[in-house]
Chain A
Amino acid sequence: MASKIVEVHPGIYEIFLPLPMRPTIINVYLVDCHGAWALIDTGMNSPESIGTLEDTFRQVGIELEDLDVLIATHHHIDHFGASGQIRSRSHATTHIHKLEAARADRMLFFGRMGPADRPESRPFFEKHGFPIEEHSASGMRPAWMGTQMYFPVTEPDRFIDDGDVIEVGDRKFEVIWTPGHAPGHNVIFLRKEKVMIVGDHLLPKITPHVGIYPDAGEAANPLGDFIESQKKVQRFDAELILPAHGGVYHDHRHRANQIIEHHRCREDEMLDLVRGKPQTAFEVAQQVFGGEERPIFHVMAATFETLAHLEHARIEGRARRIERDNRVLFQTL
């Protein structure tokens, strides 16, 4: 069996935890702070994932109960889902951004209710062209929703924000706020070691989902935030980049440029489609992401990611928004 833990830098361990969905692995990072231990992100609260954490911790000579500090990049299940379990066993001081703690809390409040189950969000689906009446709401939420697999800390010990430095033993974890994929997403930077733990912000092979959801508010521009956050991390000097999915790598500036370019090209494709004929986010998504049979959950994510692109283009003056018959259409300027 392949080892589930690798020392990627002296005293910094990458642990591979299983996920029941794609991507199938999340990397979390255990840091020996010489006298204390810190963990960045948690995996899901499944028996397999917790078991892997226990086994790998033992390989470096500690128990899960010995953990001192927990830092989360954002509230998503694969990053923060086991935080409640880990904190109750270890009493680790738990850190997350305020916006993310609020989202974790909301997720628990809604329980099994996905966005499509909430009556107040139906007009949002409809105006963006999504045929919500044709699909059962249950198909639009992930299977883990409302289960024990998501067991987040809802009252963290500390909220973290841009520029904070969390001192643990002889390590200093700097917080770089990188909104986009999630509004309170943070990259954790070890300046002395030149190591950057990037969460989902800067993945080596895939790009994280960036979407506008019904509860986002009128001023939301998550794609604009995401691109700004890509430029922001380029201002830091790092030599080893530790992502939440995929292999460790070295050149974060190069990868950030690729991600910015990738989104620019995708926007060009979308604007090409709505140059002659105004269309809804749903219609554009069907063409750019493919309209073939796919889980409706993915169609929803594609629609809201397309909306994030079109809104970004509108805010930057490359597209306009037309409201017609309770539909929002976009057209290239």
Chain B
Amino acid sequence: MVEKTIELTGISANSVEDAVQLAISRAGVTIKGINAAHVEDISAIIENNRVLRWRVRIKATFLVKDELHE
């Protein structure tokens, strides 16, 4: 088996979890079978002393499958 890993950055106005979920959902539209995400880096964008956005850089892994061509 071979797995492939891609790097994504999710951005949420609400939480780190939401940032991860948004990135995974968007990638999942075209990539099937993402089975793990490793959080590489978390940063917050600040404006007027408040957190405006959570930026979470992740590495998402999925199994490379051969597709049968009918």
Q: Classify the secondary structure of A's interface with B.
A: helix
Selected contact of B25 from candidates A268, A276, A277, CB within 8 Å = A268
Q: How many residues in B have their beta carbons less than 8 Å from beta carbons of A?
A: 11
CB distance from A249 to the nearest CB of B (A): 13
Q: How far is the CA of A265 from the CA of B12 in the complex (A)?
A: 13
Q: Is A272 an interface residue (CB 8 A)?
A: yes
CB distance from A253 to the nearest CB of B (A): 14
8 A Cβ contacts from A211-267 to B? 258, 261-262, 264-265
In the complex, chain A residues whose CB is within 8 Å of the CB of B28: 261
Q: Is the CB of A273 within 8 A of B13?
A: yes
Q: Is the CB of B22 within 8 A of A265?
A: yes
8 A Cβ contacts from B20-37 to A? 21-22, 25-26, 28-30
Interface residues on A, range: 10 to 19
Q: How far is the CA of A258 from the CA of B29 in the complex (A)?
A: 6
In the complex, chain B residues whose CB is within 8 Å of the CB of A264: 25
Q: Is the CB of A272 within 8 A of B25?
A: no
Q: How far is the CA of A269 from the CA of B23 in the complex (A)?
A: 10
Please give the residue numbers on chain A whose beta carbons come within 8 Å of chain B beta carbons, in ascending order.
258, 261-262, 264-265, 268-269, 272-273, 275-277
Q: List 17 A-B contacts (CB under 8 A).
A: A258-B29, A264-B25, A265-B22, A265-B25, A265-B29, A268-B21, A268-B22, A268-B25, A269-B22, A272-B13, A272-B18, A272-B22, A273-B13, A275-B13, A276-B13, A276-B14, A277-B13
Please give the residue numbers on chain B whose beta carbons come within 8 Å of chain A beta carbons, in ascending order.
12-14, 18, 21-22, 25-26, 28-30
